[in-house]
Amino acid sequence: SATTLARASLPRNMIENSMFEEESDVVDLAKDSALEPDEVVYEPRSSRLLVRGLGENDLDDEEEDYESSARLLGMSFMNRSSTHNPSSSPYNRQAPPRSCSCPSARMLVVGVFILVLVASMAMVLYFLPGCTFTKAGCGKANSSTPMEPSYPNSTNGELFPWNELRLPASVRPVNYDLSLTPNLTSMTFTGRTVINMTILHDTKHIVLHSSELIITKATFQSVEVKVLEYKPWQQIAVSFPEDLKVGQVCVLTLDYAASLSHTYDGFYNSSYNDKTGAKRVLAATQFEPQAARKAFPCFDEPAFKATFLVRITREPGYITLSNMPQVLCVCVCVGLLEDEFEQTAVNMSTYLVAFIVANFTSITRNVSNTLVSVYSVPEKKEHTHYALDTASKLLHFYNTFFKINYPLRKLDLVAIPDFLAGAMENWGLITFRETSLLVGNQSSPLDKQLIANVVAHELAHQWFGNLVTMRWWNDLWLNEGFATYCQYMSLMTEFPQLDLGNVFLGVRFKAMAKDSLNSSHPVSVSSQVTTPEQVSEMFDSVTYEKGASLLLMLNTTLPDGQFREGLMKYLDNYRGSNTVTEDLWNSLTQVAVSVSDMMRTWTLQKGFPLVTVSRKGGHVTLTQEHFLLSADNTTHTSSLWHIPVTYVNDSCSSAPSSTLNVSDSVKWLKLNYMNTGFYIVHYGDEGWTTLIDALKTDINTLTAHDRASLIHNIFSLSRLGRVSFRQVLNLLDYATNETETAPLTEALSQLSSVYRLLDKRQEQTLVARMKVNLMDSQDWGEEESVSRQELRSALLEMACSLGRQNCTDQATALYDQWTNSNQTKQIPGDLQRVVFSVAAQSDLGWLSLMEAYSSTTYDSEKRKILQALASTQDPQSIVWILSTGLEGGIIQTQELPLVISTMSDGFAGHLFVWDFVKENWDKIIEKFPVGSYPIQSIIKSTTSQFSTQTHLEEVQGFFSSLKERGSQMRSVQEALETIRLNQLWMDRNLPTLRIWL
């Protein structure tokens, strides 16, 4: 029921930085209930709103503001149907099906509800002056007594000529000429970097980045110069007696030596055992966000774009890869060859530069004048075909969708045996974990779904992130939010059989869970993202999943085609350059009505709204407030959002008046159709009762996504304390008739978190009594539907973890068949994890799985075996896996966050894991940078199931003691907040649960 709406402006009085790369947050936001300076504050006169519709001409001035907003945002008045298509895509913008007939389409109201206070609101923007380093300390400059800046000391004792973490804007690199000679025997490399640059402002010094590099010689315009280094900020500088003048073009040449990195960033070494058992070594790069400086001296900030020419010297047994095609190979001396690559055809940020030295093999295909290749270790070549097919199809899709062709002549997708992120979008040379790219042709659709997701995400980055790049990491969502959104949009269009609609719905729920905490942050953070730790923390679910959720909401709000047209305008306007969030809104405004006022309310403040529905007869009032789960007596912010509200009810109704009036005969009202809006709805006792009754009468009253939305909302409201857990269970009663994946997996996910909390309190009897239907009625044979596989996997994992005899017997039988047939009788892919996990609970099963883990070449299967091994409750096995994972070797260190996450779910595991993390913290942060996604994951998984004061104090004490080794991380605030909320939930619900159950 979408129609094109009149162009109009929103009210002018509103104010206005991988996860996906493998399941991927420094500011202490938890201590202050008020918004940070970068979170714009709205001062409402009243939080109570009447929702306006279209069709009234006699509105007063305030009402006209609602009217103009309504015309922009489009609100659909939708009707019930018993023939909802559960797989209907919010991207298709189709009208919801109807079960009642109306005289004409015009009788359906298509309008917009915007929950926003229309009274004049103060526009408050805080511009806090930056901290100026002076001899007197850190403070604000005084105009009457100018302070002389003080500079830090270089490593040689001389003053370093710069005193900020961000580089000066006086010099801009134009081109880098890089020559590298890695030695894979000594694990070292030497390099020469020639930087052609232009002077933008008169300056006496050039400052750039260098980390862990030993500069052996430096020349400027062919004259040798001295290099100063300030290691804490990873900066080097060259100073001059006279100013370099604006417009001057100059050349700085730096020769250096370094060790290949022993962590997962920079230019690092990796190894694997080939099929003969021989150890093979390779070198690869991972530069995002700030590690290009570990491989070559550079201006390592996203806005310093330049072109790159790369040469790499290698032994004949290896191949080299870089962003561009190889153009030349010359013999430089006995036993060494130098490969030269084309100069990049585009300006690139340093974090997108990449090179690899390895003995990989590839398969290739030509797609739209681009040579697409998938590289792997030779013995896994047969597992590359699905990735090549998927990448080829998606490259063609994106070329067509964006109407801007991928600009390079080649696109390599490379599976690295030892790689921390899920993948990295280096332009023309995308690197992946093996588990994110390689899959057998006979693998399950669920395994292929994972590969397709990662490939789609990284290919989207070739436009969003590579072609157009955020100016600084505070706007990382312009890269990651878009890549996440495009990943689902492209797959739902090109690979409908993968059924990504349910996955994207779950992703939106996940983002809300994080964003409901006081420790969250705005999608676009306008300050306090400077230190490496703060930059790393931007790679979190708010940046990725919330960013994608807001783009979905905007797409479903705008009239057909305008969102896509706006994106094409954005890419065209800014191709080759850098942007801030406002540039996106300005591009959309060129093709649609202004969206800036609305979207600022979603991107510049953390959190999201709770919409409360109150109804008196046919008169419906909607109010909004900040949905904030806080156990710290934190006052709710006064922030308001422009909310595009959609709804569906049980009746065909005439047009509403200027306030939302429905017929008295309308029994129920469901807001947020298909859950495309980023908000939660509370219907009040009566409203919930009518919805529950409607579902019990006819489950198809609502779409599967709307039913999942109700389940998510009521659990969230229970956590907030607005509804009792009894009401939650009342809604779940309808699920005895539920068969669709989205609502059932959401119910299972929510119940699982309750089960785990109870289990950690050793309330096993309560856990055993909480039952979910369908667990014992699942088939254990092959299942083609991805959606059914998803549901079956979730149900059976829950059943077996609760010790259901029927489940564990079936799993054991399948495992025995697999081992007795020498692993030739395959276990269905979606059942592998549950089958392996059941087997791992016995000593014999655990040992046979350990053997299988060492021998299997199927990466998806290997990963599931590792999760099963980590699910053991045997203390000796737990300790062995943790120490082995930390050392690397049999279990790669890159898998440690997964091991820890899996162990934390078990009772024995969660106690061991927390102690392990405390005892080995310094070793862990040597492997994974402070603030990085793996560290976020480790903190969350080890603490999120604690619910006692003792554990709260222990966690608080441990992280406080870390000082600069991690005490200020946002994920620490999130952990403490979560434990407090768990305490609160237990105090509120445990006595009642004991009575009910």
Identity of residue 31: K
Phi, psi of 230 (to 5 degrees): -120, 95
Please name the helix (run of DSSP H) or strand (run of DSSP E) that holds residue 271, with its range, or none.
strand 266-273
Identity of residue 484: T
| Structure tokens given for 652 | 């065909």
Q: Who contacts 889 (Cβ-Cβ below 8 Å, separation ≥6)?
A: none
Phi, psi of 746 (to 5 degrees): -65, -45
Active-site choice (229, 434, 458, 797): 458
Q: How far apart are alpha carbons 116 and 299 in whole angstroms?
A: 44
Q: How far apart are alpha carbons 381 and 371 in whole angstroms?
A: 18
Helix axes 500-515, 477-494, angle to 10 degrees: 160
158 is in an annotated binding site: no
Q: Tokens 């390895």 label which residue?
A: 358
Active site residue 301: no
Asked if 189 and 183 touch (Cβ cutoff 8 Å), the reply is: yes
Residues in the chain: 997
Query: Which residue pairs from 489-493 have beta carbons closer than 8 angstroms and sit at least 24 positions apart in sequence?
Result: 489/91, 490/394, 490/397, 490/398, 490/401, 490/456, 490/459, 490/460, 491/452, 491/453, 491/456, 492/89, 492/91, 493/91, 493/397
Q: How far apart are alpha carbons 34 and 574 in whole angstroms?
A: 35
| Structure tokens given for 931 | 């603030």
Q: How far apart are alpha carbons 465 and 579 in whole angstroms?
A: 10
Which of 421, 257, 288 is closest to 353 using CA atoms?
288
Write out the DSSP string of 911-952.
Answer: HHHHHHHHHTHHHHHHHS-TTSHHHHHHHHHHHTT--SHHHH
Evaluated on CA atoms 473, 600, 19, 492, the torsion sign reads negative
Which of 860, 833, 944, 757 is closest to 387 using CA atoms?
860
Q: How far apart are alpha carbons 327 and 410 in whole angstroms?
A: 13
626 is in an annotated binding site: no
As beta bridge partners, residue 311 has 179, 340
How many helices (H) and strands (E) in the chain?
28, 35
Q: Give Cα 796 to chain centroid, integer Å.
A: 27
As beta bridge partners, residue 326 has 341
Q: Tokens 């206070």 label which residue?
A: 117
| Structure tokens given for 142 | 């005084």
Please name the helix (run of DSSP H) or strand (run of DSSP E) that holds residue 478, with its range, or none.
helix 477-494
Q: How far apart are alpha carbons 214 and 216 in whole angstroms?
A: 6
Q: How far apart are alpha carbons 509 and 487 in whole angstroms?
A: 17
Q: How far apart are alpha carbons 57 and 181 in whole angstroms?
A: 75
Helix axes 832-839, 805-820, angle to 10 degrees: 90
Identity of residue 14: M
CA distances to 183, 426, 828, 899, 946 from 780, rounded to whole Å, are 51, 41, 8, 27, 35
457 is in an annotated binding site: yes
Q: Give Cα 849 to chain centroid, integer Å.
A: 32
DSSP code of residue 777: G
Which of 5, 170, 195, 212 is closest to 93 using CA atoms?
5
As beta bridge partners, residue 9 has none
Q: How many CB atoms lie within 10 A of CB 984?
A: 16
Q: How far apart are alpha carbons 173 and 286 in whole angstroms?
A: 21
Provide the CB-side half-sphere exposure for 365 (13 A, CA).
16
Query: What residues are labeled active site?
Result: 458
- Numbered residues of the known binding site for Zn(2+): 457, 461, 480
